[in-house]
Amino acid sequence: MSGTDKSKAGLALDGPIVILVEPQLGENIGMAARAMGNFALSSLRIVNPRDGWPNIAAQRAAAGADHILERVELFDTVEQAVADLDLLFATSARAHDQAKPVVGPEAAATEMAGHIATGGKAGILFGRERWGLTNEEVGLSNRIVTFPVNPGFASLNLAQAVLLIGYEWFKRATSGELPHTMPERSERASQHQIQAFFENLIRELDKVEFLRPAEKRDTMLVNLRNIFTRMDPTKQDMHTLHGVVMAIAEGRKGPAKGGVLDGEQATRLRALLAEHGQGGGVSDSGSTVRGLARLLRRNPTDAERLLWQSLTRDRRFAGQFKRQTPVGRHIPDFVSFPHRIAIELVNPGEGETIAADRAARRAWLEARDYRVIEMRAVDVERDLEAELLRLQGMIAEGPSAS
């Protein structure tokens, strides 16, 4: 059965004897036996079970507590069933108005454990489902056990009453030790390791001026440090946290950041995109075009990078051009909306498709009063200023008078 450690099935503590007085339902007897097994009680006595014995319903409900049912002792009277005991408890939800101590289940468990430990024999009576124990039966016992319950709904199911007693008794007998605990974690982090992580964290937090205002800094540091010391970090925890802090501090890397292609790779990517993206029908949807533009923006070729630097920093052009920005469904490399000028970079070794594509784009742009200037990437790389002068001249010329 799940949750059952067969190697420990034999665990049978020397516990009190459970006595069911005239139980009516086999199911309750079986469930009581099961509860007893759960808490390592093994001696079950039954006084006059209503449906006789053995009882198939009891066996079914016992769910494996057969060892308890097989050794059940049957009695005709309660007196006989308790004759050999020297400490007897009677469980009851009701006040029986007898001059007899009334205790809770914990106190009963403690007293029984002490009694058994000194060689005594303790038992506990449970009454019938219908009407519990008679006054006479309660009169036989030394103490009454009653559970702390809702006074307006005090009566428990018989087997559940057995379970509560078993639970309290077992807790007491085993000092509440749990059968399993959190698995061993990796080795605890050393003070040294925590310090190193923390210093690192502070350094990064200082970079972003997190620890402000200055007069609160010390308190913030103590609070912050306590978060980590309180959690008893393992060495692995510290590695992980360190990695997390550094990843955030250093920013996106690799593909997430984008600029992973060198100039030559970027050139090839642009060519590919031009052929498969802008050219064909694939780019029909605006979002695809924008997505490609974003990709291109993140992967500039060397020529693009050079030109873009000038277009942003050179006083003659600064603020007038945009990069990889769609004009309609086209994306010229650079475009100036105020001047209505598009700059096209011509990469070495371009195929016919790309050339045709550029021609189509040029026609489309010119039809909308854009002037298109083509710059060969090699020229940009070789003599940038010459290309810039060409551009400057075009701007000075002003819009075409078409």
Q: How far is the CB of 69 from ligand SAH (least distance, A)?
A: 19
Q: How far is the CB of 148 from ligand SAH (least distance, A)?
A: 9
Cα gap 133→126, rounded to integer Å: 7
Q: How far is the CB of 122 from ligand SAH (least distance, A)?
A: 16
Segment near ligand SAH (CB under 6 A), from 50-58, 67-75, 124-132, 196-204? 124-132
- By CB under 6 A, residue 92 contacts ligand SAH: yes
Pairing of strands 322-323, 334-336: antiparallel
Q: How far is the CB of 159 from ligand SAH (least distance, A)?
A: 9
Using CB under 6 A, count the residues that bind ligand SAH: 19
Segment near ligand SAH (CB under 6 A), from 90-98, 288-296, 361-369, 394-402? 90-98
Of 82, 85, 56, residue with least CA distance to 69: 56
Q: How far is the CB of 127 from ligand SAH (least distance, A)?
A: 3
Peptide bond into 16 cis (omega under 30): no
- By CB under 6 A, residue 102 contacts ligand SAH: no
Cα gap 270→250, rounded to integer Å: 28
Provide the token pair at 187.
């080795």
Cα gap 342→340, rounded to integer Å: 7
Of the candidate residues 13, 57, 63, 93, the single one contacting ligand SAH (CB under 6 A) = 93
- By CB under 6 A, residue 129 contacts ligand SAH: yes
Site for ligand SAH, residues 143 to 182, rule: CB under 6 A: 145-147, 149, 154-156, 158, 161
Segment near ligand SAH (CB under 6 A), from 29-37, 78-86, 131-139, 226-234? 131-139
Amino acid at site 343: I
- 386-389 long-range contacts (CB < 8 A, ≥24 apart) are 387/307, 388/310, 388/314, 388/316, 388/317
Q: How far is the CB of 117 from ligand SAH (least distance, A)?
A: 24
Q: Residue 230 burial (CB < 10 Å; 0-12/13-18/19+)?
A: exposed
Cα 82–chain centre separation: 54
- By CB under 6 A, residue 131 contacts ligand SAH: yes
Cα 58–chain centre separation: 42
Q: What are residue 201's phi and psi, to 5 degrees?
A: -60, -45
Q: How far is the CB of 223 from ligand SAH (least distance, A)?
A: 48
Q: Which residues bind ligand SAH (CB under 6 A)?
A: 91-94, 126-127, 129, 131-133, 145-147, 149, 154-156, 158, 161
